[in-house]
Amino acid sequence: MTRTSIVSLGPRRRATFLAIAAGCLLGTAPAMAERPPGEIEGSWLTDDHKGVVRISACGDQLCGRIAQVLDRTPGVPRTDVNNPDQRLRARPLVGLLTLWGFRRAGTAWEGGHAYDPKSGRSYRSTLALEANGTLKVTGCVLFICQARHWTRLH
């Protein structure tokens, strides 16, 4: 079998090949863009619009890492300066694990923890996709819980 490059094809055959290739790609674009109902993997803008967290699979669980720090205010730390463990305070915020241990439980993800680098504290946490498309991130200490709503970035 002889290999033929697209460059060696004549102009008419090259145009036909490119049209077919583009049609195949465009035909799959909607399928790639659609997410299964309740899918929370992807990039999320935090409620204060100061950071982006990327949620992805970590084995059979979900976890999230800081993908970007958007706050450019002078004096905003770029490392984990509020961590209670002094040895970890030099860790860069970008790439920092902030969500871990989440398992699907019906329409939500439970059993996880959330780390807040602003306070240096970790909380028991749940994640739930709201009807309006936002991600409800709830953190609890004892029986006191607070929720934040993150916006998906496309």
Distance of CA 59 to the CA centre of its chain: 15
Fold of the CATH domain 42-153: Lipocalin (2.40.128)
Query: Residue 80, CB half-sphere, CA atoms under 13 Å: how many?
Result: 24
Query: For the whole model, what pTM was predicted?
Result: 0.74
Residues facing 102 on adjacent strands = 62
pLDDT (tens, 9 = 90+) of the chain, 154 residues, equals: 444 444 454 555 444 433 433 343 333 333 334 445 458 999 999 999 999 999 999 999 999 999 999 999 999 999 999 999 999 999 999 999 999 999 999 989 999 999 999 999 999 999 999 999 999 999 999 899 999 999 999 7
- Where do the structural domains in the chain lie, given as residue ranges? 7-36, 42-153
